[in-house]
Amino acid sequence: MLAALYLMSLALLPAAFGRADPVHVYWNGLSVLLLSAVAISSRPRWQQIVWGACLAIVILWMCNINRHVNRFEMRPVLRAEAASFRDVVEGRRPRRLRQDDEGFSLQSLQAIVGHDPVATPVEIPLQVEESLRASGQYTPSFYNFFVTAAEDRQIQEFNESKWALLPAGEKYENFERPEDLGFVLGLQLPYRSRRPVFVSGARFAQNLAENWKFRGAVGNYRVYERE
């Protein structure tokens, strides 16, 4: 078992340090922590206390970073879960979680596109996806454009459709610079970019502007037709 943990530790080190944020280091380094627990079990009590305190600090540090990174995504989910729990306690039927799908109407969409399939190249709420599935018009996208090859494949797949549904106000360009990652790493270190930053989504936005025409709005969504 110890040999298996050791091999697992070596196998997960590239994943831990390749991403290098506290969450990946912690979970991909969990086998290292287990090995350290075995090693510390034979040490004096004061060393075990120091090791336990350091481990507790690491876990709390990681939780604090997650709270900062994910608080915007978790806030509406927690509110909806609290409301559903209150409904159950009071004997009412739990309400379904709605995520920015206000104003979406399948009938309004079909007034523009008919019953043709509709491409969904970026993430849409589950409610909207379920409506498209029920009408047989859902066209999933399997590629994320955070890397160059995936963006090329997504543009190719996207242009094979006639209609597309995209959230209004969506910003497709995204980039990460080393000096901007302090909130993820938990340390405000003086990182500097050493090579040109890859801006994912820029070619997708250019393709949308050049090859697609806006045909109407459906609630908080925009409907496009390929030229």
How confident is the prediction for the chain on average, in pLDDT? 80
DSSP 93: P
Of residues 47 and 34, the one with the higher pLDDT is 47
Residue range 146-161, pLDDT digits in tens = 666 778 888 888 999 9
Q: Which of 56, 22, 74 is nearest to 183 (CA)?
A: 22
Question: Contact, 102 vs 220, CB < 8 A?
Answer: yes
Q: What's residue 210's pLDDT? A: 94
Q: How much of the chain exceeds pLDDT 90, in percent?
A: 23
Decide if pLDDT at 191 tops 80: no
Q: The sheet that has 163-167: what strands, in order across it?
A: 138-139, 118-119, 163-167, 221-226, 212-218
Decide if pLDDT at 96 tops 60: no
Give mean pLDDT, residues 30-37: 84
Q: What's residue 86's pLDDT? A: 61
pLDDT band at 81 (very low <50, low <70, confident <90, very high): low
Looking at the chain, which runs of residues are DSSP E strands? 118-119, 138-139, 163-167, 212-218, 221-226
Q: What's residue 212's pLDDT? A: 96
Decide if pLDDT at 176 tops 80: no
Give mean pLDDT, residues 68-94: 61
Question: Contact, 209 vs 226, CB < 8 A?
Answer: no
pLDDT band at 44 (very low <50, low <70, confident <90, very high): very high
Domain boundaries, given as residue ranges, for the chain: 2-89, 106-226
Cα separation of 184 and 117, whole Å?
Answer: 39
> Which residue has tokens 């078992």?
1
Cα separation of 25 and 15, whole Å?
Answer: 8
Backbone angles phi and psi of 224, in degrees to 5: -120, 150
Put simply, whether the predicted model's pTM sits higher than 0.75 gets the answer no
pLDDT band at 18 (very low <50, low <70, confident <90, very high): confident
Q: What's residue 113's pLDDT? A: 93
Structure tokens at 215: 């045909």
> Which residue has tokens 């399939």?
117
Decide if pLDDT at 222 tops 60: yes
Residue 116, phi-psi category: left (phi > 0), alpha (psi -120 to 50), beta (remainder) = beta
Decide if pLDDT at 95 tops 50: no
Residue range 105-117, pLDDT digits in tens = 899 999 999 999 9
> How far, in Å, are 57, 131, 143, 196, 219 from residue 126 at the CA level?
37, 9, 18, 36, 16
Give mean pLDDT, residues 167-181: 76
Decide if pLDDT at 45 tops 50: yes
Cα separation of 64 and 117, whole Å?
Answer: 43
